[in-house]
Amino acid sequence: MTRTMPATPARPAAAAAGPLDLARVRAEFPILAEPVRGGRLAYLDNAATSQKPESVLRALDDYYRHKNSNVHRAVHDLAERATTAYEGARDRIAAFLGAAREEIVFTRGTTESINLVAYSHLLPLLQPGDEILLTGMEHHSNIVPWQLVAAQKGARVVAAPVTDRGELDFEAWRRMLGERTRLAAFNHVSNSLGTINPVAAMVREAHARGIPALVDGAQAIAHLAVDVRALDVDFYACSSHKAYGPTGFGALYAKRRHLEAMAPWQGGGDMIRTVSFEGSTWNDVPYKFEAGTPDIAGAIGFAAALDYIQAQGLERIGAHEHALLAEGTARLEQIPGLRLIGTAAEKAGILSFVMDCAHPQDVGTILDQEGVAVRTGHHCTMPLMQRFAVPATVRASLAVYNGSDDLQQLERALHKVRRLFG
């Protein structure tokens, strides 16, 4: 089997200086000009998935027009182009996260990344009575995989409490790191509350007790600078589609020593070194975990998306979104009968709320009529909804292309909800 490595790793685009040019940013996202319900779109459902810039669309198109072939398997020109682009994407993603290329496993996204760790890393180590420590604000994809493996071994999943502001009760979490804890798993940014967790301190605390840590970075990588080496985290999971890239693709960062020790979790082509009917041997990491033909375009699109983020600059994106979060919070606080859920001191651009006059589903329907795209429901965090004693929330979530006009459109639509239901 040939494995063509790119001669030179893809270089991150230089970050531009100065404030964000919103008109220019918006011009790069063609879908934002799409009329919805006959009017202007205010897209505020970015925590579910973000829109894609021209550069990502072009990278996907270019791949299928000029490079499409299978990777790693042939010596012809197109196979070489596809492999170079695909492995170049691995270099790009590794550089973005501060990892080595061997530590980046391509997956279908955060969910698959966490499942991989659950089955390949944790399951063989678990003993009856062992614990997996979570927080009360985890997404179902950072709860259910652990429950599945725990059930097989008589282990259990425990979760640390969340305060009324939607922050982790850090002291309680720390006390729950115990003799039986085999892994601590927590999100970097809560998708329902926007809370930014103190992940560096959490990793330190876990490591001080010899416990590995997994961070769910689904809501972080498009908004905060992430350096897995500086965090010293064992596993970091992320998705392309929440960071301006295509759906169905993502990555797992894992320390090399973990990947070396882990058994493959899916068998098939490309993950093997040799196969005979008596037995098989495994390819090097990370390929040992990548059975079958991968989502080649997904990798290339994800790398283009990270280039886009880098070109805008995470600091600039963060400042822009933070200013909008402050403005949005102030606007929503003025609306009678509206209650924000999640008011942490450290917050990313997520505004979750309930209204006393209408169910979140009805609020969402009226907002949609006004061209405002938000998410309503439990956001795959049912335990958190129980914690706040609400069936669901309305969630407006921000991205680089949002502006004050989107927040004003949201505010006007919420006043309409009050007129109709209040």
Binding site for ligand PMP (CB under 6 A): 47, 109-111, 139, 141-142, 187, 191, 216, 218-219, 239, 380
Q: Least distance from C-beta 280 to ligand PMP, angstroms?
A: 29
Q: Least distance from C-beta 58 to ligand PMP, angstroms?
A: 23
Q: Which is nearer to ligand PMP, 47 or 300 (CB)?
A: 47
Which residues does 297 contact at the CB level (< 8 Å), separation at least 6?
A: 60, 63, 64, 246
Which of 213, 209, 241 lies closest to 228, judged by CA?
213
Q: Which is nearer to ligand PMP, 89 or 116 (CB)?
A: 116
**Residue 151 tokens, joined:** 């059930």
Phi, psi of 28 (to 5 degrees): -85, -10
Identify the H or E element spanning 44: none
Q: Least distance from C-beta 187 to ligand PMP, angstroms?
A: 5
Q: Any idea what DSSP says for residue 210?
A: T
- The residue annotated as part of the active site, out of 380, 382, 385, 390, is 380
Q: Which is nearer to ligand PMP, 139 or 387 (CB)?
A: 139
Query: What is the C-alpha to C-alpha distance for residues 320 and 316, in angstroms, rounded to an integer?
Result: 6
Phi, psi of 235 (to 5 degrees): -140, 140
Query: What is the C-alpha to C-alpha distance for residues 25 and 320, in angstroms, rounded to an integer?
Result: 12
Q: Which is nearer to ligand PMP, 251 or 413 (CB)?
A: 251
Which of 318, 321, 141 lies closest to 216, judged by CA?
141
Q: Which is nearer to ligand PMP, 46 or 310 (CB)?
A: 46
357 is catalytic: no
Residues 381, 139: contact at Cβ < 8 Å? yes
Which residues does 89 contact at the CB level (< 8 Å), separation at least 6?
A: 10, 299, 300, 302, 303
Residues 63, 73: contact at Cβ < 8 Å? no
Q: Least distance from C-beta 412 to ligand PMP, angstroms?
A: 27
Q: Least distance from C-beta 199 to ligand PMP, angstroms?
A: 13
Query: What is the C-alpha to C-alpha distance for residues 55 and 60, in angstroms, rounded to an integer?
Result: 9
Q: Supply the residues annotated as catalytic.
A: 380
